[in-house]
Structure 1
Amino acid sequence: MGSNDVTQACSNSLNGKLNQLSMERSQCTIYRVHKHLRNVNMKAYEPEVIAIGPYHRSKDNLQMMEDHKLCYLRLILERKEINNIETYVSAIEPLEEEARKCYAEPITLNSPDFLEMLILDGCFIIDLNFREDEDNERRRWRFINNATELREANVKFKRTEGVSLFDLRFEDGNMLLSPLTIEDRTESLFRNLVAYEQYFGDGQTNYVTDYVKFLDCLIDSSRDVAILSRHGIIDNWLGDDEVVANMFNKLTDSVAGPGTHFVYANIFHVVNKHCNGRRNRWMAKLRRNYLNSPWAVISVLFAVLLLLLTVTQTVCSILQECESTTPPLKAQAQLV
């Protein structure tokens, strides 16, 4: 083969590869994070609950959620007029090649498995978004502030002997809560009950999960635990308020919810309405900015006292000035 032939062959090969690269690059939208970036923080790129797509679907810790995908598919089939699964497969099959080209590297799944993945993942995402549009249409509430901020907004905490631990009420600015004893077994008990409720469907009421979320809202720091303890709502057998605060702040990590049947939705709504009142917002701002410590209270009192003294001195000066410029009554009579 001559020199020109070698040059032409090499050029043709490179041009073909460049054209193929350009075509692949233009279609690729899904990439695997490269090793050096992943090694910085492996957990940041690893799904913890559910896998979408082919990259993580074979991992053992994510297999449980594959059954949930089937449940979502069944719900879609039950809601739609076309409930024949073959219809869905037939609609997706022509898109297989185009879907494979979206990935930056070859996908080793055979056609049946790849189509099954597209249908299960796609229906899961669609139904999940449908449900969220519906945790948003029903939920007209937002989370409440912690105990410290609620107290600043004129919310008073009171212990009540309710029917059960979950019997929480809000009446006339008073947050009424049943007492809760915190001991060594409390975290384990709550975690196991919350884990059990996570297997319920969204249509079920998760009393323990919602109660833990309620306390997680109330408790952000040891100050919040101290407030609840002072009012007899929390009986802290652990002794350290910071430990209790950390426990509740972590209990709802990686926990789904609250769902559409959140037990305390109405209480949250009423509490937020109370806190957003003009007088309560003004009191919260006053306490947060000027009465948040003994020294701040002393400073405010000193400023008020100084203001009163200044006003008194000004009034006295005005009165003295008036007396010095006004003639006595006897002198006024003689002039007349």
Structure 2
Amino acid sequence: MEAQKPSEWFVLMKLKLKTAQEYAANQPWQNWSIYRVPRRLREAQDNKVYVTQTVSIGPYHPTDEQLQSMDRHKWIALSRTLEHSGQDLDVYLDAIKRVEKQARACFQEDISHLSSNEFVEMMVLDGCFILELFHCSPKTENAHDLEAVIYNRTMIDDILLDLVMLENQIPLSILDRLLEIISNNQPNYRAVDLALNLFNAEWLTCTQSLLHQEPQQNPISLHNSWWQTFEKSPPEYVRKWYSFGLDSKRNHRQLIPRVTELQESGVKLRRRSSNQFWDIKFNKGVLEIPSLWIQDSTKPTLLNLAAFEQCHLDIKEAAITSYLVFMECLIKSPEDVSYLNRHGIVQHLLGDDTEVVDMLKIVAKEMLTDAHSNRYANLGDDVNAYCCQRRNIWRANLLRNYFNNPWVIISLVAAFFLLLLTVTQTVYTVWPFYRSAP
């Protein structure tokens, strides 16, 4: 009897299964460093915070007509790079072609629609543009040459904001390779050093750094550890995940009471001197928070950095995400903002304090963090434990109700002396009778 041939549908399923197995075996996610914003985050925010407005970098937004107007400046930057390095264009193209496969692997989204020539041209053009901006930034001695690349100096702020967009990136390895050519294979600095010179400290917060000081795990090991944990105990691990979004239908653990509740419980808030705005400490009833300067660029910058953490890091390592959730729990009203402003903790250039509350409410929406082991979990437990102690609440009420007004203090002091005099008079009155008693 002749064997029945497999149906076309069955053959197609087998092919799909084989493709999936090959994909899983290659583990392409281990090389990803440039991501698309997760739909969960994009739908929770105004889309503008994730979309470039001035310049397109990389393959995710190459067809936007408005962004293509900046291409002229990219070609100017390339011309200046060739002039400074004394190298021909083909040297740059050949160098990037040799690392094309590794560079493509950095992108989460499939970019196979770009031919090899198109991809290499994009990497060289965008890379040289970024490096020229780094060299001609206002912090460097070549700042006066900025007009040779960007004729309008006011445009630089818009470009810098675009360069922190999650989807507007190229691999750092491309920039490092271009730097090697520019310096004749003897680089005395890396692309990351140039980037930090431009984007560190004052650019966002005026005083703090965006960087982790403690050593970070390798992204590959972070992905592996996440999956290993998930495979071992999925039900328990999933239940530990909380979204601190403001959807009223979603239950979530309150990380820390708001400012006014902390005051009522006797917690004092002070500005902390630190070079990291998330370096928050609590000790003996004092919550110390570094100063944060909020301006128009703060919201998109923090959201894109948090989106990168959500895509690239273990949730427990997401410092900015944890910080946003913490601050949203802390600030619930304009009165909370006003108090922090008076103590130098939150300063802003927004319209009023209500806008700060609304901004934090928006940026914390749909942020996922591990409620039991995020950066501030232990701190939050300590603060909540302190707030639950009755003696702290009584002391706070006493200080607030009786020692917050100088006239009340004077009245209490006068009453104390009056009581003391009364007791003294009573003692002197009774004492002779006591001594004369048989």
| TM-score, normalised by the number of residues in structure 2 | 0.37
Task: Select the structure with the greater relative contact order (CA < 8 A; seq sep ≥ 6).
Answer: 2
| TM-score, normalised by the number of residues in structure 1 | 0.46
